[in-house]
Chains A and B, each alone.
Chain A
Amino acid sequence: MITRDPATDSNARTRSGPGPCTLTLLLTPALGLVVVLFGGGLVLGFLQSLGHLPAAGMKAYTLQHFQNILTDPDFLKSLGLTLYISAVSTAVAGALSISAALFLIGFQGPRRLVDFIFEIPLAVPHLVIATAVVFLLAPSGMISRMLQTTGLIDGASRFPLLINDPWCIGIIVTYVWKEVPFITLMVMAVLKNTGAELLETARTLNANRWQCFRYVVLPTIFPSLGAACLIVFAYTFGAFEVPYLLGQTYPMTLPVWAYRNYSDIDLMARPEGIATGLVIAGVIIAAIVLSQALTRMARRRGAII
């Protein structure tokens, strides 16, 4: 869905271009705007993170700010927390999505309705779900009320802390609710096309359920499952709203930390905020490059994925 393989553009294979001039004319407005705004934003951000902010009388070019954040013990805590949230959310959402896809692929019933229900979370903003999760999991939330009514707990204070908690349960629940349908639909798209026939072949060859899953389903879905999980990881690693609202005040996730520094009244904290933002971008890009390289290496060694 996200990246397109040029070889799949049916028209592109057969048609020759209308000449470089027309192509440039068609592509320039969009690419130009993206390069200027996105590239410009990153470059200017980088300059500011080096301490170059002429309007504020800062004209240095130094790696001091990067050094400051990287040697700050709180930074490492924030990095660890952010990695924890992203990794757990992605793993849980990925596992649930595989089961959901396997269930939906064999589902016979009001198909359109179920698909529609599954598409709802895709379009709902994270903020709305964060609000609903607070209503559900807060000490005075719905679950706590139910437990109190049934007599399982004695007062809201006895309910375990699930919002603004050290394990970030509220944040992870929000992300899982939001991302499971996304990964599931990505997985189903390939499973629907190629999975059914292959599975049938495997069954006629007497494969058991585990073998079917391991040697047919998993290799079929792996590329799109991996791509979807990577997108989810990248998103949850760089997102601000949910951890800001549902997280603890200390330690904060990296994006919250970056914004706190950036919006500090002390202008000197600003380069550190931007430097943190660039570290976030760096981790995300590194994760993408690394996972591509690992997949390629595993394939070369003959792993069936």
Chain B
Amino acid sequence: MKPLNRTIVGGLIFLAVGLPFLQLVIWSFSNRWFYPALLPQQWGWRAWQYIFDTAGAQIVGAIGQSLAVATATAVIALLIGLPAGRALGLYAFKGKDVISVILILPVIVPPLCVSMGLHHWFIRLGLAESFSGVVLVHLTFCLPYAVFVLWGVFSNYNPEFEDQARSLGASTTGIVLRVMLPMTLPGLVVAALFSFLLSWSQYLATLIIGGGKITTLPIILFALMTSGDRPVAAAVSLVFVAPAFLALLFSARYMGRQSMMGIW
């Protein structure tokens, strides 16, 4: 391809990816922006003031709720997924195909079906409209994701270092803490990030199981989008997208490329 064409196509990609965010930023800083002006007639902080001050109790509360749900989901997915990922990545045994299918189904079948089925059961167990209920329903699809990532991590892990450490007298705890965890850390971080972002952006499962009591950020954003206050919807969208950007920057800095493949 000619250099000029290359610049043009590259520029188009840049524009296509950047345009949505540029619009969100401009809208979030506009106090008055009537049709058909191309830029706001009056710039200002109204939307940001609204979400952190006027409606602060509600929106900052939702940010906290979202952070709590996604962090709990990611930590549990990592803790439970780690042994499974290790077993699947390191050892040959029968039934791996079946396990693969069991794990792929929750990733592909939409959360809608499962959440509706679980809801009735969760009501009877007292898990509906509760924090733990929402975390459990998020785990249904976050955990298989984490296991797939960790499976990949451990299939590239050389367990002979553990044998060497053991022959030098290290205890099992010592091996886990000083050999396995440091060697697999980047992969573990990616698995946790996947689960966190997947849980963070979940709307319908939270709505069905949380029943409006567990108001995470997407639930607030959904209400705002239908209310039509564009600057506020834009500002909340930017808050909502922030962890994704932080995760991307982190993975670009520490993990090398293509580590974010699993989240689409």
Mark A residues whose CB is within 8 Å of B: 1-4, 6, 8-13, 15-18, 20, 23, 25-27, 29-31, 33-35, 37-38, 40-46, 48, 53, 55, 100, 103, 106-109, 112, 114-136, 140, 142, 144-146, 148-149, 156, 177-179, 181-182, 185-186, 189, 231-232, 234-235, 237-241, 245, 255, 258-259, 262, 273-274, 277-278, 280-281, 284-285, 288
A255 touches B112 (CB 8 A): yes
List the A side residues contacting B261 at CB < 8 Å.
1, 122, 182, 185-186, 189
**Further contacts, 16 of them, CB under 8 A, given A41-B118, A232-B264:** A9-B92, A9-B151, A17-B92, A31-B84, A38-B140, A40-B121, A42-B117, A44-B117, A117-B13, A127-B201, A127-B240, A132-B21, A136-B23, A149-B38, A245-B226, A277-B117
B174-198 near A? 1/0 per residue, CB < 8 Å: 0000000000000000000000010
Chain B contacts with A in 97-143, Cβ cutoff 8 A: 97, 99-100, 102-110, 112-118, 120-121, 123-124, 136-137, 139-140, 143
B80 touches A33 (CB 8 A): yes
Q: List 8 A-B contacts (CB under 8 A).
A: A4-B88, A12-B91, A18-B91, A40-B121, A45-B113, A119-B257, A132-B20, A238-B110
Query: Complex: how many Å from CA A114 to CA B114?
Result: 38
Q: Number of B interface residues, CB 8 Å?
A: 100
Partner of A2, one of B35, B107, B218, B226: B107
Give the dominant DSSP class at B's interface: helix
List the B side residues contacting A273 at CB < 8 Å.
116
Q: Cβ of B248 < 8 Å from any Cβ of A?
A: yes
Min Cβ gap A276→B in Å is 9
B112 touches A238 (CB 8 A): yes
Query: Complex: how many Å from CA A302 to CA B9?
Result: 37
List the B side residues contacting A145 at CB < 8 Å.
35-38
B39-82 near A? 1/0 per residue, CB < 8 Å: 00000000000000000000000000000000000000000110
List the B side residues contacting A255 at CB < 8 Å.
110, 112
Query: Complex: how many Å from CA A26 to CA B93?
Result: 13
A136 touches B260 (CB 8 A): no
Q: Cβ of B165 < 8 Å from any Cβ of A?
A: no
B117 touches A11 (CB 8 A): no
A17 touches B91 (CB 8 A): yes
List the B side residues contacting A127 at CB < 8 Å.
201, 203, 218, 221-222, 225, 237, 240
Which residue of chain A has the shortest Cβ distance to B98 in the bound complex? A31
Min Cβ gap B133→A in Å is 11
A45 touches B17 (CB 8 A): no
Give the dominant DSSP class at A's interface: helix
Number of CB contacts from chain A to chain B under 8 A = 311
List the A side residues contacting B91 at CB < 8 Å.
11-12, 15-18, 23
Q: Cβ of B164 < 8 Å from any Cβ of A?
A: no
Which residue of chain B has the shortest Cβ distance to A56 in the bound complex? B120
List the B side residues contacting A17 at CB < 8 Å.
91-93
Query: Complex: how many Å from CA A22 to CA B21?
Result: 49
Query: Complex: how many Å from CA A2 to CA B261?
Result: 10
Partner of A34, one of B9, B103, B203, B247: B103
Min Cβ gap A120→B in Å is 6
B120 touches A259 (CB 8 A): no
List the B side residues contacting A18 at CB < 8 Å.
91
B260 touches A125 (CB 8 A): no
Query: Complex: how many Å from CA A238 to CA B144?
Result: 18
Query: Complex: how many Å from CA A204 to CA B13?
Result: 32
Min Cβ gap A50→B in Å is 12
List the A side residues contacting B107 at CB < 8 Å.
2
Query: Complex: how many Å from CA A149 to CA B264?
Result: 36
Q: Cβ of B244 < 8 Å from any Cβ of A?
A: yes
B13-39 near A? 1/0 per residue, CB < 8 Å: 110111111011001000000011110
Min Cβ gap B205→A in Å is 10
List the A side residues contacting B171 at CB < 8 Å.
none
Min Cβ gap A14→B in Å is 8
B263 touches A123 (CB 8 A): yes
Query: Complex: how many Å from CA A6 to CA B88?
Result: 9
Query: Complex: how many Å from CA A265 to CA B105?
Result: 31
Min Cβ gap B229→A in Å is 12
Partner of A30, one of B124, B147, B156, B208: B147
Query: Complex: how many Å from CA A179 to CA B264?
Result: 7
A-B CB proximity, top 3 nearest: A45-B117, A238-B110, A132-B20
B92 touches A12 (CB 8 A): yes
Q: Counting chain B CB atoms within 10 Å of each CB, which of A34, A142, A148, A235 scores highest?
A: A34
CB within 8 Å for A9 and B218 given contacts A123-B260, A123-B263, A274-B116? no
B114 touches A45 (CB 8 A): yes
A129 touches B120 (CB 8 A): no
